[in-house]
Amino acid sequence: MEIKSQLGVPASAAPTAGTPAAATASGAGAPGDRGRWFGLLVVCLGVMMAFVDVSATITALRHIQDDLHVASSTLVWITSAYSLAVVSLVMSAGTLGDLVGRRLVFVGGAAVFVAGSVVAFLSGSSGTLITGQIVMGVGGAALLPSSLAIVSATFADPQERTTAISIWAACSGLGLAIGPVLAGLLLEHFSWHAVFLINLVIGALALVLAPILVSESKHPTRKLDPVGLVLGTVATASATYAIIQGGATGYTKAPIIVMYVVFAVSLLLFVRVELRHHDPMLDLRLFRSASFSAVMGVSATTMFGFVGISLLSVLYMQRVGQVAPLGVGVRMLSMFGTYILISAAASRLVRKVGFTAMLTAGLVLMGAGALALLATGPSGDYASMWPGLLVAGVGAALLTAPSTAAAVNSVPALQAGMAASSVNMARQLGAVLGPSVLGTIVTSRFPRNLHHRLTDAGVPGPQADKVVAGASHGGSTAGLPAGLARAVGAAVPRAFTDAVHLGLLVGGIVLLVMAVPTARFVRHRPPGQ
């Protein structure tokens, strides 16, 4: 079925090649221009940097907690502050790119990301580190939609665009894959601060090469929607904050309820303003297509599972398996490496089987991978881990590029930037929800599990309370009496494994449930079929 007809947009509404509007919107060279592919690699550097930070920071969490003595509730913010900034600003950044130029926003985002990395590198407290992550999130919010919009504008042919988006998505997986390995190498010889030097190198390359190899493009008729921009930012920021902080303090606390109210009011006003605006920041009519709406759900659920499973796996290997950071990075390649290899073939595969089968299968496989990780035990044996990681990696590879391509290819050409921003917002919302929800399950259940196991082992309640408080802040058994140290040494891995299992169970169920509306509503196929 023709997608434009689904959206209520006639095929003639899209600019034809050679018209001034099309030329202004794309800014691309001739179809055979090799420079387009070099430009693609440059914007992929920005994407890779954004995801390197995610996985490298996760790998360094234990070192950060041990050094700064960070409470578990604060530790969640070290990873979530970045995603909070991204999800709050990504739509606004996409609009800004349409207005002033996508390359300009991309370069600005890279510069801000580098600045945030410097702040994180120099930080000596959790507050300063979180501030650095927020600054990096602002840069990431500019990088992600602008890079995808550049790809969409540069590659006008739908099949070429699907291939280019597959490369773009594979680079996000490459960033996730090399993050733990590079972080592990640095942590072997330096402190956790050195992890943030990775961003400086990648960011410097992007800053130098983008003005040379990336063509500028912007929307020819886009106008500023200031009210929609503010309301959209407030709605996404309040909802995301409530999700993250509510997991740590409880979702019924007064400040969280206030955030619920702020979200509900700002969302209602946003919908009203956008429906009446002649050139809205987000054209809500796109969501009349059940397929487009379902793809947004797939995008969010994909990152929910991918980042969430990654976080729980890293924490399990570090806390239960006592694996060194470099070893963690190498072991995670069973998931990340598989993701990269399968992503490379995703564009060809989706043209054969269609979006519906591809996305449904990806969700089922990713959910099955999460559930397969329930085979892990308190011994930390990697033999029980790698099958689940591999299956989850295959599932993620079938989801990321096809869902992005499905969203961008399902809108008229001039709305590609808007679709790029929408899918990135959905992805980043999932990236917030994954570590926040699943990570909070682990950090909240672990102390309870540990306390129960200690008291069952005969440890007096007050003494168990002290041990649990120390373990929650990254403490060790050093200095404890021999008998208590043995009890703690046996209880901690079991309590942590049980907490991780609960998080994986929730993640697996969410992924499998999302497969139902995906199979039901995602109906369009790649262009040309």
Q: Are residues 171 and 212 in the same domain?
A: yes
Last residue of a domain, one of 258, 278, 298: 278
Q: Assess if residue 43 is contained within a domain.
A: yes
The dihedral built from the CA positions of residue 142, 148, 150 and 153, taken in this order, carries a sign that is negative
Q: Are residues 123 and 253 in the same domain?
A: no
The Cα 372–Cα 37 span in angstroms is: 38
pLDDT value at residue 411: 66
3-state secondary structure at position 4: helix
The predicted-structure confidence for 206-246, as pLDDT tens digits, reads as follows 999 999 999 888 877 777 778 888 998 899 889 888 877 88
Q: Assess if residue 20 is contained within a domain.
A: no
Nearest to 247 by CA among 439, 515, 406, 107: 439
Q: Are residues 265 and 411 in the same domain?
A: no
Nearest to 299 by CA among 419, 153, 413, 415: 419
Q: How many domains does the chain have?
A: 2
**Max avg pLDDT among 83-87, 140-144, 478-482, 485-489:** 140-144
Are the C-beta atoms of residues 422 and 296 closer than 8 Å to each other? yes
The predicted-structure confidence for 39-82, as pLDDT tens digits, reads as follows 899 999 988 888 888 888 888 888 898 888 887 777 778 878 88
Type of residue at 236: T
* Residue 349: its H or E element: helix 333-372
Are the C-beta atoms of residues 121 and 225 closer than 8 Å to each other? no
Could you list the residue range(s) of the whole structural domain that residue 446 is in? 32-225+279-458+491-521
Nearest to 496 by CA among 437, 458, 434, 452: 452
The Cα 22–Cα 175 span in angstroms is: 32
Q: Are residues 273 and 214 in the same domain?
A: no
pLDDT for residue 526 is more than 70: no
The Cα 464–Cα 458 span in angstroms is: 9
3-state SS record for 198-216: HHHHHHHHHHHHHHHHCCC
Predicted TM-score (pTM) of the model is: 0.75
Type of residue at 507: G
Q: What is the number of alpha carbons within 13 Å of residue 365 lying toward its C-beta?
A: 22
The dihedral built from the CA positions of residue 148, 151, 156 and 157, taken in this order, carries a sign that is negative
Q: Pick the residue with more confidence: 24 or 160?
A: 160
Q: Are residues 376 and 273 in the same domain?
A: no
Here the tokens at position 180 are 């733990």
Q: Pick the residue with more confidence: 408 or 285?
A: 285
Q: Are residues 316 and 365 in the same domain?
A: yes
Q: What are the backbone dihedrals phi and psi of residue 217, each rounded to the nearest 5 degrees, phi first?
A: -155, 155
Q: Are residues 238 and 347 in the same domain?
A: no
Q: Assess if residue 37 is contained within a domain.
A: yes
Residue 357 CB partners (closer than 8 Å, separation 6+): none
Q: At what angle do helices 102-122 and 72-100 cross, to 10 degrees?
A: 160
Q: Give the residue-averaged pLDDT of 165-181.
A: 80
